[in-house]
Amino acid sequence: MKTHATILCKQFTPQGIISVPPSKSIAQRALILASFSETPSQVEHIGSSADVNACIDVLTNLGATIRHIDPTSKPRSQNDTDNHNAKDPYRSVTIKPIELQKFSTPLTIQAQESATLARMLSCIVPGLFTKLNIARESCSAVITGTGTLLKRPMNKTAMFLETLGLDVSLREHKWLPMKLQGNFRPGSHHINELDSSQPVSGGIIGLSLLDSDSKIYIREQPSIPYSLLTAHLANLFGAQITYDIQNAMWHIKGVQSLHGITYRVESDWSAASLWLAAAALHGSITIKNINLASHQPDRQILELLDSYGADITITSANSNESAQSSLRNSNNCTLSLTANNRRAFTFDCRDTPDLFPSACLLAAGCTETSTIHGLKNITGKESNRVETLITILKKLGASCSLSDSTLKIKGISHFKNAELVLPPDHRMCMFALLAACNLAADASLHLTIANGGSFEEVIAKSYPDFLNHYMLVGGLLS
């Protein structure tokens, strides 16, 4: 397969129909829960992103048996119109859980470049140690990774684990590898501040494996909806987790055992958001098989696009139901968006950090000033996305002003010529490619990746088919 180390982008009008990949956040959580259950599961439509493949590798190494189901081995339903699914060799898997009687320590978990895996599993494994009555002095694990993950801060995750009773050490007190010693004990735990929801997502699963109930109070937790998504999935597997939003308190019942289920992973709103933002600037995009009743926080992009002035049409894929009925009932809708007005907006990314690139793209194409809040925890992703996007936006011709965790952007009607050296960050690469839709007619973008990697390899972290879809809707690459 041809790969691109550099790309020259020309102006284009996005026009077409696509199906975005499955949500890697949901797929990873479902695979983890299935592997720590006590009966087999089937998880469908997991996709083939690098992060999902890393999850399969880790869980297999821990002792789960994960087998791919050949999508050609059974008839596809009449409603299964997602071409991405038909090609995807990882469309469905069966999971035989980790054989706990064969489980042994010490553990080494290689999370590759997935922060979700590193943070969640570091906070699940101590619960498993307790469930198996492993002597505390024998409860040890090392969590490590590769590439950009080794540059992502883990000190707040370490503090979370220490509050729950573990001894933790990090390289230079901040970076992986992380060494854990100890296990969880049920009870009440108080946390002051976190920089990610992922430790909480792992912790509420890990504490569910105990034989007594626990509570976690977190004074300041970002991205609470992602932990609520985890709780929703965990409860499907037999956990009993609730969140008291008024008192910022997680209640985790010690159910000890989870049970397997059959579950289908829905399409990814994070991936959909960038396509929709691009089309809101210039063009028209239709996205199939999207769940309007999703628990994914990034569904909030619809509210932003509506306030921006885009024309949005929603239909059920199954019938001629109204949009209102689809919102209540359907997980299989078609969403069409066409550019119309470009209005300035105010948006808070605290609970939806992956919408920050989409919000920036919209703001950059509006000649009035937009305000984006809640950027405190966006600097520790695969790159410092706040710094990266400010650099990109200024080169495109927008004006930016950053104060504390608030960014003000005054955009321009059409972007200028620019040469951009991008970090090896999947969302930054997709942002830059889609920015080409708003270029001036005679302008172009010259894109390279800082470490010399290929765009295909970097974007495969979440969206292996992105460049194919880009060209399908009219994107011009050379």
Phi, psi of 286 (to 5 degrees): -120, 130
Burial class, 329, CB count within 10 angstroms (exposed 0-12 / middle 13-18 / buried 19+):
middle
Region 40-51 average pLDDT: 96
Q: Is the pLDDT of residue 84 over 60?
A: no
Q: Is the pLDDT of residue 71 over 70?
A: no
Q: Is the pLDDT of residue 79 over 50?
A: no
Q: Is the pLDDT of residue 30 over 90?
A: yes
Q: Kindly report the number of other CB atoms within 10 A of residue 308's CB atom.
A: 26
Reading phi first (left if > 0) and then psi (alpha if -120 to 50, else beta), residue 80 is in beta
Higher pLDDT, 321 or 437: 437
Cα separation, 6 vs 13, in Å, equals 21
Q: What is the pLDDT of residue 101?
A: 81
Cα separation, 80 vs 331, in Å, equals 12
Of the chain, the end-to-end C-alpha distance in Å amounts to 15
Q: What is the pLDDT of residue 3?
A: 77
pLDDT in tens, 358-393: 999 999 999 999 999 999 989 989 999 999 999 999
Strands 333-338 and 311-316: antiparallel
Cα separation, 34 vs 80, in Å, equals 24
Q: What is the pLDDT of residue 144?
A: 98
The length of the chain is 478
What's the whole-model pTM score? Answer: 0.94
Q: What is the pLDDT of residue 72?
A: 60
Q: Give whole-number Cα distances, 213 to 25, 161, 184, 185, 190, in Å.
A: 26, 17, 12, 10, 15
Cα separation, 420 vs 72, in Å, equals 42
Q: Tell me the angle at which helices 115-122 and 155-163 cross, rounded to the nearest 10 degrees.
A: 20
Cα separation, 379 vs 425, in Å, equals 12
Q: How confident is the model at residue 319 (pLDDT cuts 50, 70, 90)?
A: low
Burial class, 199, CB count within 10 angstroms (exposed 0-12 / middle 13-18 / buried 19+):
buried
Tokens 């706990």 — which residue? 100
Cα separation, 65 vs 54, in Å, equals 14
Q: What is the pLDDT of residue 374?
A: 96
Tokens 């997680």 — which residue? 250
> Tokens standing for 119?
């943070």
Phi, psi of 30 (to 5 degrees): -65, -40
Counting residues of the chain whose pLDDT is more than 90, the rounded percentage is 87
Phi, psi of 393 (to 5 degrees): -60, -40
Q: How confident is the model at residue 441 (pLDDT cuts 50, 70, 90)?
A: very high
Q: Is the pLDDT of residue 415 over 80?
A: yes
Q: Is the pLDDT of residue 86 over 70?
A: no
